[in-house]
Each structure stands twice: as C-alpha cells, then as structure tokens.
C-alpha cells in the first residue's frame, strides 16, 4: 500500500468520525503528551546521573525558550498586532500566574511520584470554583460547593498532613494548580477577541523574565541527551496545549473533558515502569475522590451551559 493511499484512508476514516469522537481523540493525545512531558521534567530534575540533576529554574527557562521559539513564526505572521492588547494588566497577571505555576509544577513533579502529582493537578476545577466567586463574581450553588468540599477532602486523604509520610512538595503542587486556576480566571475575564498567539506570547515572555536570572545563577551545561529532553519539554508542552484547544473546538466539553483523566492511568503506568513508583492505597483513594468531584463539577458546568446559559453573557454557573 503506497503512502498516498494510506493517507487517503486515514483522512477518510477521520472525516467519518463524529465531532465528539474527534475531540476525544485530541484530548487523549493531549493527555498522553502532558504526561510524557511531566515524565521528561521528572527525569531532568531527579533522574539518574547523565540525565537528571538540573535545577528547576534551568528546566523552566529552557521550556519557555523552546516554546517561544515555536511561537515566533505565528507572531511574525500576525505582525505587531499579536502583542497589541487593551488589557495588558490582565495579560500580565495571567502570564505571571502561569509562569509561577510552571516553576512550582516542575519542582513538584521532580519530587513527587508521577501519579501523585497528576492526581493533585485535577484539583484545578476546585480552585477555579473558589476563584470564580472572587474574581469573576459568579454565583456558585450548593451542589458545586459540596463537590468542591469533597474534592478538597480527597486532597487531605492523599497528602495526610501530620502523617509521617507527608511530603511538602505536595503543597508546592497545589500552589502550582492554584496559579493555573488564576490564569484560567484571567482568560475568562479577557474578551473573546484576544488572539491565542497573544496569550502564548505573553506567557512565554513572562516565563523567560521570571526564570532567566535564577537559571543563569544555577546553570549547569546540559549534555546532548539533556538538551534533547529540554527541547522535548518545550515542544511537547506547546503541542499538547494546542491539542487541548483543538479537542474543545471539535467536541462538546461534557463529552471531551472526562478523557483528560486518562492522564492518571498513564502517569501510574509510566511511574511504575520508568521510575519504579507504586501508588499507595491512600493515593488511590484520594485520587478517586478528587477525580469524582472534578468530574461532577465539569458535568454540572456543561449542563448549566447548555440548559441555562447566562443571560448577561457571563460564564454559566452551577
């Protein structure tokens, strides 16, 4: 079978899929990309000699640098308008929160089991619920508050503060998720007309500004293998983000979103086979509670958005 015939069959099969199924496949690919990306960061920071041992700021700086290199062609195509905005303050807050979250996330993934870090990352909808009330002025009803409380109970089950096995890196992981939640709320406050290239550009520039000086202070010349992993972290991070955007553009959020939780299974498998990590019973129980609460919030948001959209154009509430 020649390549053209194979490409035609693949294209034809893709076209026959429903929008929801195409969105689900994009989300599965994005979940795999983000999980592999986290595994590469973990290898660079805490891996064996020859691959690991790099400082978190050095990895974050390289990630921002390679990501910005990928964004530059889109900025050149868009011209000066790509950096022009009427909301520089919102962009600055979003970019700073996202950059700080990246640094915290890299530190946490370097010191926690991969499955633990992934499970804690699913607390993002819980933090968004809290911040939506403060930043966006949303009205959150009791069902969503209850789901949020249950989700944070799952966090306590996982990290068990006061227990002998408590790892402070878990708090850094939660701080990372909190920063991402702030960035999400800032995106919701921005008008719909803001370019995606503008969001990426401000994030990359802020990340470079935050990490450049600390990275230079702790800089260790990477080996060729480390450079390849650093390039992979920067590239895969941008590509995975683009696939998530494509997933939500293709399918309905209520159908597509649950496929993101495949990250937990992938993280468990990679953690076991690559890093010899075995999740404990408290991790599994807490992760199940967190995922259940996050799924409920996601479905509640989707249902409210379809059945009872907000009349004033603000994001729907649950």
Instruction: Encode pLDDT of 37-64 as tens digits.
Output: 999 999 999 876 567 889 999 999 999 9
Q: Max Cα separation, the chain?
A: 62
Give residue 308's pLDDT.
Answer: 36
The mean pLDDT value for 304-308 works out to 47
Q: Which residues contact 137 (CB under 8 A, 6 or more apart)?
A: 314
Give residue 306's pLDDT.
Answer: 42
Residues for the chain: how many in total?
318
Q: What angle do CA 245, 250, 255 make, to 5 degrees?
A: 95
- Asked if residue 158 belongs to a domain, the reply is yes
Choose from 11-20, 187-196, 212-221, 293-302 the range with maximum mean pLDDT.
Answer: 212-221
Give residue 93's pLDDT.
Answer: 92
pLDDT tens-digit map of 165-199: 568 899 999 999 999 999 988 888 887 777 777 88
pLDDT tens-digit map of 136-166: 888 888 888 999 999 999 998 888 766 555 6
The mean pLDDT value for 216-238 works out to 93
Asked if residues 301 and 318 have their Cβ atoms less than 8 Å apart, the reply is: yes
Q: Which pTM value belongs to this model?
A: 0.86
Which among 104, 99, 114, 96 has a CA at the least distance from the CA of 65?
99
- Asked if residue 90 belongs to a domain, the reply is yes
Asked if residues 64 and 234 have their Cβ atoms less than 8 Å apart, the reply is: yes
Structural domains counted in the chain? 1
Give residue 103's pLDDT.
Answer: 96
- Asked if residue 114 belongs to a domain, the reply is yes
Give residue 162's pLDDT.
Answer: 61
By mean pLDDT, which of 6-15, 147-156, 256-265 is the weakest?
A: 6-15
> Cα–Cα distance between 2 and 164 in angstroms, integer?
60
> Cα–Cα distance between 146 and 293 in angstroms, integer?
9
pLDDT tens-digit map of 114-123: 999 999 999 9
Which range marks the domain in which residue 89 is found? 18-307
The burial class, CB within 10 Å (0-12 / 13-18 / 19+), for 117 is buried
- Tell me the two tokens of residue 214: 């600390």
- Asked if residue 9 belongs to a domain, the reply is no
Asked if residues 317 and 140 have their Cβ atoms less than 8 Å apart, the reply is: yes
> Cα–Cα distance between 303 and 20 in angstroms, integer?
16
- Asked if residue 124 belongs to a domain, the reply is yes
- Asked if residue 154 belongs to a domain, the reply is yes
- Asked if residue 318 belongs to a domain, the reply is no
Give residue 312's pLDDT.
Answer: 34
> Cα–Cα distance between 204 and 103 in angstroms, integer?
13
Cα 226 to its chain centre, rounded Å, is 23
Give residue 223's pLDDT.
Answer: 92
- Asked if residue 140 belongs to a domain, the reply is yes
């Amino acid at each position: 079978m020649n390549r053209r015939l194979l490409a035609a069959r693949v294209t034809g099969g893709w076209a026959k899929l429903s929008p929801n199924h195409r969105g689900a496949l994009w989300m599965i690919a994005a979940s795999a990309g983000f999980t592999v990306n986290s595994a590469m960061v973990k290898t660079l920071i805490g891996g064996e000699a020859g691959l690991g041992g790099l400082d978190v700021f050095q990895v974050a700086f390289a990630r921002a640098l390679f990501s910005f290199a990928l964004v530059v062609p889109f900025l050149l195509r868009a011209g000066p308008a790509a950096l022009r905005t009427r909301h520089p303050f919102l962009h600055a807050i979003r970019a700073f929160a996202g950059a700080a979250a990246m640094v915290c996330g890299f530190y946490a993934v370097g010191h926690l089991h991969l499955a633990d870090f992934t499970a804690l990352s699913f607390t993002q909808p819980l933090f968004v619920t809290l911040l939506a009330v403060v930043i966006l002025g949303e009205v959150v009803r009791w069902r969503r508050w209850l789901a949020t409380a249950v989700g944070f109970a799952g966090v306590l089950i996982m990290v068990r503060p006061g227990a002998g096995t408590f790892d402070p890196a878990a708090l850094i992981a939660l701080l990372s998720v909190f920063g991402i939640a702030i960035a999400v709320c800032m995106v919701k406050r921005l008008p719909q007309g803001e370019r995606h290239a503008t969001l990426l550009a401000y994030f990359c520039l802020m990340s470079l500004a935050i990490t450049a000086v600390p990275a230079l202070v702790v800089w260790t010349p990477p080996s060729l293998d480390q450079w390849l992993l650093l390039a992979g972290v920067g590239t895969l991070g941008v590509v995975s983000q683009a696939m998530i955007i494509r997933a939500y553009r293709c399918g309905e959020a209520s159908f597509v979103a649950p496929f993101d939780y495949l990250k937990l299974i992938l993280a468990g498998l990679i953690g076991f086979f690559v890093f010899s990590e075995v999740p404990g019973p408290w991790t599994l129980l807490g992760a199940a509670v967190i995922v259940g609460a996050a799924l409920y919030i996601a479905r509640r948001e989707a249902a409210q958005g379809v059945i009872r959209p907000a009349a004033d154009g603000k994001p729907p509430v649950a």
